Structure 1
């Protein structure tokens, strides 16, 4: 059973790599992005899309962590601790 899982995972990884390779080979046209008057360097379309994906994969978890942290801090302020009677 363990070997079957390894084989299936290996096949899925190979299919993913083949898909990425096909995407990169089909999108070799060089373009330059223009953003607020700033022109970027000439790069293939596939490289720009992969860079955008990687940046998103970094920013997404950072934003989720920040939101969790803010919620955790706000919960601490909402919870009142009972005062000790003397």
Structure 2
């Protein structure tokens, strides 16, 4: 059973890697971002999009943990 899980995990990771490679190859047009007056150098469109995805994937769980901790404090304060 452990071997099957490893194989499925490796296939899933391979599919994600192929998707990322195809996404990067499909988004090669250059873009320059302007944020708060600061102009970033021109980079392929895939780079800021992947960075935004990773940033969202990092911020989401942090906010979720914060909300759970705050809810637990409210419950313990009411008890």
**TM-score w.r.t. structure 1 length?**
0.77
Select the structure of larger CA radius of gyration: 1
Q: CA deviation at 1:24?
A: 0.9
Q: CA deviation at 1:10?
A: 1.6
Partner of 2:3: 3
Q: What runs of 5+ residues in structure 2 fail to find an aligned partner? A: none
Quote the RMSD (CA, aligned, Å). Answer: 1.6
Aligned length: 79
Deviations 1:2-29 (A, max 9, x none): 3333222222211111111111111121
Bigger drift between 19-28 and 6-15 goes to: 6-15
What aligned pairs does 1:38-53 form with structure 2 within 5 A after superposition? 38-53=38-53
Q: Give yes or no for the alignment of 1:27 onto 2:17.
A: no
Q: What runs of 5+ residues in structure 1 fail to find an aligned partner? A: 80-86
Q: Which has the higher helix share?
A: 2
Partner of 2:77: 77
Bigger drift between 65-74 and 1-10 goes to: 1-10
**TM-score w.r.t. structure 2 length?**
0.82
Partner of 2:67: 67
User: Structure 1 CA distance, aligned partners of 2:5 and 2:59?
Assistant: 31
Q: CA deviation at 1:56?
A: 0.8
